[in-house]
Chains A and B, each alone.
Chain A
Amino acid sequence: MKKTLAFLLALAMVLGLCTCGASGAPAATQAPAAAEAPAPVETETPAEESAAVDTKILYEADDSMLNTYTLIAVNPEAPFTDADGKAVADVAVNTAGADALIHWMLSQTALDMAANFGMEDYGEHLFYVKDGAPVYEGEIAAATEETKTIRLSTTTSVKDSGLLDYLLPAFQSEYGYVVEVQSAGTGKAIAAAQYGNADLILVHSKSQEVSFVEAGFARVVEGFETERVSFIYNYFVLCGPSADPAGAAACASVKDAFAAIAGGKFVFVSRGDGSGTHTKELSLWPEDLGITAEAESFAAYTDWYTSANAGMGACLVMAEQMGGYILTDKATFLTFAANNGQIA
């Protein structure tokens, strides 16, 4: 009896001292992941010393693989409807906060930071600033008690890339805002705004963005000309096993590479969740295959087409395990490869 008591007290003390003696390093859990021992994976080393993943980038920088990120401010006068479809008025939207954040993201400072993101860790650019992105040079409003909290709805890809964790602290400390980031699949991220739960969205799926604007949910932010403010972009990359049985790397265009994969029935892992990546992937298959987001459309191809319905990282792990091909954004892939098959 006494022994168990002593043991439990000791355990309590250890846990208490360790977890609550926070010597506040604001580093996210990147730190412990980087410190881990390498996981035992197949050793096909691209150019690094430690054992790495077998999957590598086979095709990139094709214009049809462009992935443009867009900020859209939510319109408080939008035709919001509740669950029953009835119109709802006086939906609370923090327009001042959304404006401030968009202004700041399009300021030269932020754009430079975004362009630099990833250089330190991977020696590669993960994001590029769009030519002709409207740089904002005006005043940015500081936070007030009412406008302090900004609700940003974005996709899991953006969140997982780490860009926001990199950019936002500067914005928050300088202007006094608190940005609450919700991340979900593209569809859900946009839906959050339509339910009045976000002040602005950051997504990368043009067709869905256009629908959003046309439905009246967007507004033009002061200092810009359109509702959709596209400011950065990056590329999707086609990754696959280093042996590349489909010969994707040697293809003339990415669409040819996809045709080669389909023709040879090589394993391909699809996001399958209606995300931006998924939408882009669907557009790259040969049309006569008829692959769409609907499950019936690829029912005949399930021996090689794997619809995972999972996040990017989980899909990459799957592709690694199965030795399959996969379309991914470069940022997530680099993080994945650098961490030996895991996402920090």
Chain B
Amino acid sequence: MKIEAFTKTYGDRRVLDFPGMELERGKIYGIIGANGSGKSTFARVLAGVLPADRPGRKLEPGLTVGYMPQKNYAFRMRVRSNILLGGHDTARAEKLMETMQIAHLAGKRADRLSGGETARMALARLMMGRFDLVLLDEPTAAMDMETSALAEGLIMDYCRETGCALVLVTHSLQQARRVADEALFFHAGLLLEQGAKEKLLYVPERAETRRFLEFYT
């Protein structure tokens, strides 16, 4: 599927200048970059919650988009009800709750959960649906190591099963290395480099990318 080029400007500050690209189904695209590099803006414009400078869909019409915002919102109802907002399949809901280890919280009021529990619930909630394109904005930011691992497994299984194109914005290079098939590096609002994981995440071409990776080694 094709993503059109777009830009996003606030006042006289251009925060994102995206040149457009093609996504393949069944592939996980990892987006890395420093804070303020425009990764979240990219996800939000694609998700349709933030209008680009020239408003309008950036995707082909008829494609469904799933999106998990960076700040997870728990609706004022039980955890199970929250998850069922994403889809009606109760069996699937139970399974997802188990996978994310929140089954014991199913009857609890969702607005009383901790940050990590909310994040797990939000991911499970999104995974209830089927979409052509799924955008996850730092889904494991609030999770601990163990839960992050579970989440990553879930995400990879989901992408394989549903055959969607999955865009994962992450601030963890390790996570990108574990999960992504292809990677995109954003720097100061520009898509500086993109390519297969083996290349970009280990032996990048651009100097800026190399400098970014250095923080992790």
A–B contact (CB under 8 angstroms):
no
